[in-house]
Structure formats: C-alpha cells, structure tokens
Amino acid sequence: MVQASDFAFSGLHIPGNTSNAVGSRVTPVSVTQIPGLNTLGISMVRIDYAPWGINSLHTHPRATEILIVIEGSLEVGFVTSNPENRHITKILKKGDVFVFPVGLIHYQRNIGYGNAVAIAALSSQNPGVITIANTIFGSKPDISTDLLAKAFQVDKSIVWQLQTKF
C-alpha cells in the first residue's frame, strides 16, 4: 500500500557538513529517499560548499542536471566529448541557472569567502554519479599503475601517490 511518506522528503533546509577534503556535501533526493519517484524520471540534490569548496569532477551517466545557485557564487563547468574536449565554464551568482548535459564531466567550485548553496534537478530518478578521481585512483582492486602512468603520461610514483589518497 502506497503512503504519503513514499512521496515526501524532509531535510533540504538543513545545511550539509562540508568539513571534508573537498569542502562540499551533496544531499540527494532520489528514488532511494523517495520511493514514489520510481519511474518518474526526476530527482534533485542540495549541494553545500565551504569557502573555496568544490563538487569534484563527476558525471551522471543517466541524467542531465540543471543547477540554480541559492546562496554565494560558483564557478561551474563541463567538458564536451572527444575529439573537441572543450571546457565550457561560467561564473554563477545567486539566482543564476546552468545546465550540465547528460554524461559529460562537470564540476562546481565556490569562488567566495562565504558558504554557497545550490539546488540541482536531474532528469532521472536514479541519475548515478561517477566521481572521476575516486573512480580512477580509488578502484578496488587498483587499476594497474603502469596503465595509469601511460594513460596520464606521468611517472608511476605519481600514480601510486594518488592511489594512496583514494
């Protein structure tokens, strides 16, 4: 039996804890939090940023994202696909909106000295998220150091150092 609680979520008014390595916290509202979103093709997140905090390079394999700045100023950007790999970037202020196309690597960075807050809507009830650095350098088991060194054209010691951080 379906209940009202299957279609409701409380808590987006509560700031996320940004005391972490990247200085941001994403609070998701997807099918996991609201079962009633199943098959509806929408979800949302609140993103809190400490001063100079980032929402690290990531992609959503199943969703386009539209973001509005609620508080503060953000540098946002995405990179188009091969072979062009164009970096599209913009500075957003309170009330500004930006779209990140489905599947493209994108990011946000608080460029202010105070906290920033954004709300984003995604075109899937289960958009998925692939954080680039965590995926590449934090996979279990590790991706071969030789392979990563060649792919990034750096010394193996740099790859090893990055793998120990993730």
Tokens (6 digits) for 137? 């350098």
60 has binding-site annotation: yes
87 is in an annotated binding site: no
Task: Confirm whether residue 110 is marked as ligand binding.
Answer: no
Q: Is residue 126 helix, strand or coil?
A: coil
84 marked ligand binding residue: no
Can you list the positions of beta strands (E) in the chain? 24-29, 43-49, 54-59, 65-71, 74-79, 87-92, 97-100, 106-110, 116-122, 130-131
DSSP string, 3-17: -GGGG----TTSPP-
Angle ∠(59,38,33) on CA atoms, nearest 5: 70
**Burial category of 121 from C-beta neighbours within 10 Å (exposed 0-12, middle 13-18, buried 19 and up):** middle
- Asked whether residue 134 is marked as a ligand-binding residue, the answer is no
Annotated binding site for oxalate: 55, 60, 65
Annotated binding site: 55, 58, 60, 65, 106
Annotated binding site for Mn(2+): 58, 60, 65, 106
